[in-house]
Amino acid sequence: MTPNNDLKKQEIDIHLLELRYSHIRVHDPSRIRRLASSISSHGQLKPLVAVTCNKDHLILIDGYQRQAALTYLGKDTAQVLIMNCSEDQALFQLLIKRGERHWQAIEEAGIIQELYRRFDCSFDEIGRRIGRNKSYVKRRLDLLESLPEEILQHVLSGAISTWSASRILVPLARANADDATALAANLERDPMSTRQLRTFYDHYQKSNRKVRERMLAAPNMFVKSLQAVDGTTDDGPEEKWLHDAKAVCGILHRLQNNTDTVFYPNQEKKQRRLLLGQASRARRLTRELQEKIQERVQDDRTNQRGSDKRAVQTGNEQESNCQTPENISHHDKQGHIESGDKTKPEQKLEI
């Protein structure tokens, strides 16, 4: 690919990066640790993305978790892709999602707020440039601005999911900000599944003031008491799969312990063939299960490798983006490598 003269990849001192948008990024400590592990093993494979602030500083646009991982490792410098376009144009590029890492709604809302408040972009203009309608843009901004500050900080810290915020806490905050704040504080101490939270909110809406006070004092206990009365559980597919896997492990352990009793010298051939046939079937099913799991995990890694390749190709794309704001394309967003990844080193990604 022909190099793009409007994009420069440089080794930059981390302290020269202005983290102007860190306040709208969801913090994920576990992901930062995984990134740090990847960088420690394979180096920084994907650059941060920044625009020029002044001759001495750059504004970090994308790569906040990569920057946090580098800082965690005590690194002084980072590979940075410097975009030769305006700050607002760079923000527009972040909002375009075409097969990239899915941004959390609260993060997208934060960027929209910056464009609307700081850069005086209308809802129509924002919608047109990111391929969305005006209503979508307004809903995203409402999500952010409807949340009390305390709840917003819970979401950005990663303690409360964006789903919980948008589906439960936002409508609750509009009706009763104090109750929404109390529920958020409880969720941080004692998290609930989305199903439990939906059950809680449905009952909350039907209850009087006195009952609501008792519910808010112990939301998780309230839902569990309902489940005990109804005889229901909150087990999702993951919990059921884990339960079945543990049961299989228990059975295999029992079979192993009984092997000396079941297999013995001069055993009848027909019986031994039957036993060995079932052992072979168990081995085959176990192997197929492992292969299926690896395929599903590999799907994620394939997307990450695609992102890594696009990082190399963003030169020409971003040159066109910056020169033609109406036709802004996308660039790579953040992905991650999980520890224990067995792909070849050159295929590993860190964001």
Mean pLDDT, range 329-351, rounded to an integer: 39
Residue with the larger pLDDT of the pair 240 and 285: 285
Residue with the larger pLDDT of the pair 343 and 129: 129
Residue with the larger pLDDT of the pair 57 and 342: 57
pLDDT on residue 307: 45
CA 202 to chain centroid: 27
Residue 2 has pLDDT above 50, yes or no: no
Q: Locate 285 and state its tokens.
A: 């099913």
Last residue of a domain, one of 85, 113, 146: 85
Backbone torsions φ then ψ of 27, nearest 5 degrees: -85, 130
Q: Kindly tell me the burial class for residue 69, based on how many C-beta atoms sit within 10 Å of its own C-beta (0-12, 13-18, 19 or more).
A: buried
pLDDT tens by residue, 175-185: 898 999 999 98
- pLDDT confidence band for 339 (50 / 70 / 90): very low
Residue 101 has pLDDT above 70, yes or no: no
Mean model confidence pLDDT for the chain? 79
Residue 68 has pLDDT above 50, yes or no: yes
- pLDDT confidence band for 147 (50 / 70 / 90): confident
Tell me which residue has tokens 């030169």. 315
pLDDT tens by residue, 293-332: 887 776 555 554 554 444 444 444 444 444 333 333 334 4
Last residue of a domain, one of 273, 288, 321: 273
Q: Is residue 341 part of a domain?
A: no
Tell me which residue has tokens 């990134």. 35
pLDDT on residue 334: 41
Q: Which of 334, 351, 322 is nearest to 87 (CA)?
A: 322
CATH of the domain at 51: 3.90.1530.10
Residue 116 has pLDDT above 90, yes or no: yes
pLDDT tens by residue, 225-281: 887 777 665 555 666 777 788 788 878 878 887 887 888 888 888 888 898 999 899
Which domain, by its residues, includes 17?
1-85
Last residue of a domain, one of 85, 107, 136: 85
- Given a contact cutoff of 8 angstroms between Cβ atoms, the answer to whether 212 and 204 are in contact is yes
Residue 72 has pLDDT above 60, yes or no: yes
**β-strands 7-13, 77-83 pairing:** antiparallel
Q: Is residue 127 part of a domain?
A: no
Q: Is residue 215 part of a domain?
A: no
What is the pTM (predicted TM-score) of this model?
0.57
> What percent of the chain is predicted at pLDDT more than 90?
36
Q: Kindly tell me the burial class for residue 84, based on how many C-beta atoms sit within 10 Å of its own C-beta (0-12, 13-18, 19 or more).
A: middle
Helix and strand element counts for the chain (H, E): 16, 5
Q: Is residue 29 part of a domain?
A: yes
Q: Is residue 201 part of a domain?
A: no
Q: Is residue 9 part of a domain?
A: yes
Choose the weakest-confidence range: 42-51, 110-119, 191-200, 297-306. 297-306
Q: Is residue 245 part of a domain?
A: yes
- pLDDT confidence band for 96 (50 / 70 / 90): confident
Q: Is residue 223 part of a domain?
A: no
Backbone torsions φ then ψ of 281, nearest 5 degrees: -65, -40
Range with the largest mean pLDDT of 149-158, 282-291, 293-302: 282-291
Number of domains present in the structure of the chain: 2
- pLDDT confidence band for 288 (50 / 70 / 90): confident
Q: Locate 242 and state its tokens.
A: 């884990």
pLDDT tens by residue, 18-28: 999 998 888 88
Q: How far apart are CA 38 and CA 280, in angstroms?
A: 38
| Amino acid letter, residue 314 | T
Range with the largest mean pLDDT of 49-58, 130-139, 287-296: 130-139
